[in-house]
Amino acid sequence: MLDLADQSSIAALVAATGEAERVAIAAGIYTSAPALETTREQIDSVMAINLFGVFFTAQGYSREMISRRSGSIVAIGSISGRFPRMGQVAYEGAKAGMRQALRILALETVPLGVRINVVSPGPTETEMMHKLMADHPELKNLAAGNLDSFRPAVPDAHVGRPEQVAAAAAFLLSPDSAHIAFHDLYIDGGETLGI
């Protein structure tokens, strides 16, 4: 089993599958607490996977792809990486850091034949979304928004589906997106208003 918090586990994965031309990194954990109550342990555990694990996985595959001067990587981020949410300092800090770290890696590797992009979903019908709902019981309807928690409504009036996120990642991994690099594609029904 892969443990993204363990660099030796990442190294073993890359060694076993380094010939991959297209790599999607869909990994993340979630915890919530008010910012004034968030602990170092909470931040460390989320950063270990959502930032460091994702970055070092992308770095490992980038090294392999550079040797062939060909390859594409997409990581699953979150609109939370740019759009603040109450109670999500660890998760959002990690996603924001991941986004920026991958953009720097992309900047350095795109001249060497490697494209790196991020897909950032908004509210999506996943297990993690249900956990968020449990942690934030005032969010009865994510698509409708909630002024008390500073969450805007989703303009297309529904949460996303995992297959919509997967389709965006597949496009960014494909040759059809050959001229797209270090892009962050929002899959959010317009919630962030394109900001």
Q: Each residue of 158-187: pLDDT tens digit? A: 888 999 999 999 999 999 999 999 999 999
- Which of 30, 61, 91, 186 is catalytic? The answer is 91
CB 72 within 8 A of CB 173: yes
Beta bridge partners of 87: none
CA neighbor of 189 nearest in space, from 161, 167, 166 = 161
Tokens of 114: 């490697």
Separation of alpha carbons 14 and 81, rounded Å = 26
Task: Spell out the domains of the chain, with CATH numbers in brackets.
Answer: 7-187 (3.40.50.720)
**Pairing state of beta strands 71-76 and 184-187?**
unpaired
Cα gap 49→1, rounded to integer Å: 14
The answer to whether 5 touches 53, Cβ cutoff 8 Å, is yes
pLDDT in tens, 57-111: 999 999 999 999 999 999 999 999 998 888 899 999 999 999 999 999 999 999 9
pLDDT at position 37 over 90: yes
**CA-to-CA dists, residue 25 to 37, 45, 81, 83, 149, angstroms:** 30, 18, 16, 21, 30
Is residue 91 among the annotated active site residues?
yes
